[in-house]
């Protein structure tokens, strides 16, 4: 089925974002953008020479999810692991500047904070340089991290598991999620926990409320090559059966998204027509808005509509982007006029 737009109801949910408590658990990343222009080819090798004009630092990974939530008015605590290094200190400074509570973070002197550097010239990404470790986190550090997450979640209305495959999210998470689910501390109408997955191991997410793989991720885990929304529905059914999630949302890029709920209720949403500059971080925005919306009483379908509207806004900018409540309302109102 396709969704119908109730603009005033959707905007009322956006108003409720203010002050709602959220938790984000996952891989913290510092994103660096080096902006410049290309005017010549290097005489040393067949590569372009970028004349650097400016550099910017932005919160990435789980921190970008938290930043998206914070910009929309939520009170956010971030949980995970951070290195005792300059990159980690910069991340903490950026979190503080955005009003995001870092008290759920556990420091690890043996592990570097992940940093991704993107060199961009004439609106095109030339190269990306990653500094990271994907090794398993020690038992001691992981235990502390999960303890912090468990404490924070008891005072939250919703949360996101943001897995970027850097080692913070592993099989040690699932027993905690399952325990919280069994004691009804998390759940669709209590405290929804939404997973943004990575890789082939979905057993580590069991106990979560919802999961939102993209097209590539859903294809990898299900073995179903997704060319149509019907294919995506089959993949979503497979994923749902594996993890007993209440909701599975598969984002499909230019094809939009599909939402699978209990009783096999399926919703299909088309992409809102926009000029696309960059999809970097759009998945983080979708996770943030979808979770926030569920947290304030929106149905999964309504939450998906709001998340789809948010994605349409942030892909118009280069690099990680966020949006504020009035910007999200403007997209909802624009889309509503199309029906």
What residues are labeled active site? 284
CA-CA-CA-CA torsion for 237, 238, 241, 246, nearest 10 degrees?
-40
237: left (phi over 0), alpha (psi -120 to 50) or beta: alpha
7 is written with which tokens? Answer: 């603009």
- In this structure, how many other beta carbons lie within 10 angstroms of the beta carbon of residue 141? 17
E-strand stretches of the chain: 21-26, 28-41, 48-61, 75-83, 101-108, 114-121, 124-131, 158-162, 193-196, 210-211, 247-251, 257-260, 266-269
Q: State how far the Cα of 52 lies from the Cα of 258, in Å rounded to an integer.
A: 41
Q: State how far the Cα of 196 lies from the Cα of 98, in Å rounded to an integer.
A: 22
Q: State how far the Cα of 138 lies from the Cα of 111, in Å rounded to an integer.
A: 10
The residue whose two tokens read 């948010």 is 310
Q: State how far the Cα of 36 lies from the Cα of 45, in Å rounded to an integer.
A: 19
- In this structure, how many other beta carbons lie within 10 angstroms of the beta carbon of residue 227? 11
Among 89, 90, 51, 59, smallest CA distance to 76 is for: 59
276 is written with which tokens? Answer: 């696309």
User: Which DSSP state fits 319?
Assistant: S
Residue 113, classed as helix, strand or coil, is coil
Listed in sequence order, the residues at least 6 apart from 82 whose beta carbon sits closer than 8 Å to its beta carbon are 28, 88, 91, 92, 105, 106, 107, 108, 113
Listed in sequence order, the residues at least 6 apart from 183 whose beta carbon sits closer than 8 Å to its beta carbon are none
């Amino acid at each position: 089925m396709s969704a119908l737009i109730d603009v005033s109801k959707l905007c009322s949910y956006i108003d409720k974002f203010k002050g709602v408590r959220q938790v984000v658990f996952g891989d913290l990343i510092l994103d660096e953008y080096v902006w410049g222009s290309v005017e010549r080819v290097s005489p040393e090798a067949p590569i372009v020479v970028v004349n650097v004009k400016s550099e910017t630092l932005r919160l990435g990974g789980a921190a970008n999810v938290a930043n998206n939530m914070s910009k929309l008015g939520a009170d956010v605590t971030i949980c995970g692991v951070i290195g005792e290094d300059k990159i980690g200190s910069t991340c903490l400074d950026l979190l503080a500047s955005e009003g995001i509570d870092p008290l759920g973070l556990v420091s690890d002197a043996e592990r570097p904070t992940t940093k991704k550097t993107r060199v961009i010239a004439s609106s095109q990404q030339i190269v990306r340089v990653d500094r990271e470790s994907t090794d398993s986190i020690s038992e001691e550090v992981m235990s502390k991290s999960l303890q912090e997450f468990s404490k924070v979640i008891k005072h939250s209305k919703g949360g996101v598991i943001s897995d970027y495959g850097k080692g913070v999210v592993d099989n040690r998470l699932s027993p905690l999620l399952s325990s919280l689910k069994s004691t009804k501390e998390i759940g669709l109408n209590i405290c929804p926990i939404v997973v943004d997955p990575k890789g082939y191991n979905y057993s580590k997410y069991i106990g979560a409320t919802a999961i939102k793989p993209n097209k590539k991720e859903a294809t990898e885990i299900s073995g179903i090559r997704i060319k149509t929304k019907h294919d995506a529905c089959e993949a979503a059914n497979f994923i749902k059966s594996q993890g007993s999630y209440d909701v599975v949302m598969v984002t499909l890029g230019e094809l939009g998204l599909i939402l699978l709920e209990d009783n096999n209720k399926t919703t299909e949403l088309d992409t809102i027509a926009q000029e696309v500059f960059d999809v970097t971080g759009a998945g983080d925005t979708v996770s943030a808005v979808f979770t926030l919306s569920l947290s304030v009483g929106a149905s999964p379908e309504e939450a998906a509509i709001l998340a789809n509207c948010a994605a349409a806004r942030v892909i118009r900018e280069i690099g990680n982007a966020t949006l504020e409540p009035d910007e999200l309302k403007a997209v909802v109102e624009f889309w509503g006029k199309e029906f």
